[in-house]
Chain A
């Protein structure tokens, strides 16, 4: 689905060749500072490469309208960003930004259940814990039902038990709905358990690529 060819970005990334397959879970692992997040931010054109190409469905993303691209390829950053307001506002703000039709409370509740966020829609978000904020942000991008979910350390603020529950639910949903997930994770166990493809990034280069049996 994504084809990266000769991508260079500052001294951070140098990727000769990388394919991210359609309808699969791709996990990106590697040490901190290896360029995982920078790679993810290229996929929704939040940054542009200094040289090389990234194709999405065969089209160079530099030739696409970046706003349209980001409405199909939605990213949840590692540090959750909560907008001042209640849960409902935070869940629906993405619909506003991407000019999609509003959804009703039942739908919002369903996404909250999927990430195990047990809060009232009218509850104010300013006293949420780090883990609650993270799940709120995950639910927010799920509400958009984009084609591609870019998840940067989606479980970094969650305890291990919740981590597996939440990631498992998101992956199950993505498989059922034929979505693509590209997930940066520091957790080898998460990558091994859920990744169809595991890409290891080391000092900005792809050092290993593992495809699971029957995955491709």
Chain B
């Protein structure tokens, strides 16, 4: 029974849309007033995924290191910009740079280790592995660094008195900001930790579900799932630790004084 997945034909896809239309009709008839958003998001999702499907098919057929890394670069750039937008506070150039560098180094380090060291794909740039695994690692790390940054910025504002008190007691900026960095790290990895806690019991993770649907044995699917979760944990941690280590400097000047913005 471990054969390939049923390819959905055009009529089957259309019947999935009919289902959405029924939902929209229910929403409309009950005057909830969100039918426009549902339709727009469904159409956007369709267009985006079709485009991505063709791009990926092309890249997989013409596998080369250039295409693989170009795709990863696009993902990284998107992730960095998305992180900027999701952080509520206005960021200065220095913090923007720190976010970008931490995210790229943390994710690429983990991804390279994971794909080349753990999965050991052949050829080494194999886009079939690099791109989907990269997407998961980069996406999760983006969420982590967004949460971490919010926490650091919030802490620097609300705990200004404590930081200055620490400086008055002879602390280095690093010591003075340590508690804020620690709590930012905790906040950033919490979603990943929670996800791992509930995994397999509360829900079946997306990648594993996808592999099972495509005919992979559940035992192989869990191997990949375990490995990718460890990869995500490593990448989120690494990105946020780099961010915390570098970011506190942005709040102090060379005289170890708190910078007023």
Contact present for A71 and B168 (CB under 8 Å)? no
Query: Across the two chains, which residue of chain A brings its CB closest to B166?
Result: A97
Known: A79-B161, A81-B161. A48 touches B170 (CB 8 A): no
Asked if B204 CB lies within 8 Å of chain A CBs, one says no
Contact present for B170 and A77 (CB under 8 Å)? no
Query: Across the two chains, which residue of chain A brings its CB closest to B162?
Result: A81
Interface positions of A from 1 to 18, Cβ below 8 Å from B:
none
Contact present for B168 and A77 (CB under 8 Å)? yes
- How would residues 81 to 116 of chain A score, 1 for a CB under 8 Å from any chain B CB and 0 otherwise? 101000000000110111100000000000000000
Bound Cα distance from A98 to B170, whole angstroms: 5
Q: Which of B161, B169, B256, B257 contacts A94 (CB 8 A)?
A: B169
Contact present for B164 and A98 (CB under 8 Å)? no
Interface positions of B from 134 to 172, Cβ below 8 Å from A:
161-162, 164-172
Asked if B175 CB lies within 8 Å of chain A CBs, one says yes
Bound Cα distance from A99 to B166, whole angstroms: 12
Sorting the interface of chain B by its residue count into under 10, 10 to 19, 20 to 34 or 35 or more gives 10 to 19
Asked if B34 CB lies within 8 Å of chain A CBs, one says no
Query: Across the two chains, which residue of chain A brings its CB closest to B253?
Result: A48
Contact present for B172 and A93 (CB under 8 Å)? no
Bound Cα distance from A77 to B172, whole angstroms: 18
Least CB distance from B40 to A in Å reads: 47
Asked if B122 CB lies within 8 Å of chain A CBs, one says no
Number of A-B contacts (CB under 8 A): 60
Contact present for A44 and B257 (CB under 8 Å)? no
Least CB distance from A161 to B in Å reads: 27
- How would residues 158 to 193 of chain B score, 1 for a CB under 8 Å from any chain A CB and 0 otherwise? 000110111111111001100000000000000000
Bound Cα distance from A70 to B173, whole angstroms: 12
Asked if A45 CB lies within 8 Å of chain B CBs, one says yes
Asked if A47 CB lies within 8 Å of chain B CBs, one says yes
Asked if A209 CB lies within 8 Å of chain B CBs, one says no
Query: Across the two chains, which residue of chain B brings its CB closest to A94?
Result: B169
A67: chain B residues at CB < 8 Å are 170-172, 256
Asked if B30 CB lies within 8 Å of chain A CBs, one says no
Least CB distance from A48 to B in Å reads: 6
Interface positions of A from 33 to 81, Cβ below 8 Å from B:
44-48, 62, 66-67, 70-71, 74-77, 79, 81
B164: chain A residues at CB < 8 Å are 46, 77, 81
Q: Which of B161, B171, B255, B256 contacts A97 (CB 8 A)?
A: B171
Least CB distance from A176 to B in Å reads: 23
Asked if A181 CB lies within 8 Å of chain B CBs, one says no
Bound Cα distance from A94 to B175, whole angstroms: 11
Q: List 28 A-B contacts (CB under 8 A).
A: A44-B168, A45-B256, A46-B164, A46-B168, A46-B257, A48-B255, A66-B257, A67-B171, A67-B256, A70-B167, A70-B168, A70-B256, A74-B169, A74-B170, A76-B168, A77-B161, A77-B164, A79-B161, A81-B164, A83-B165, A93-B169, A94-B170, A96-B175, A97-B171, A97-B176, A98-B169, A99-B170, A144-B169
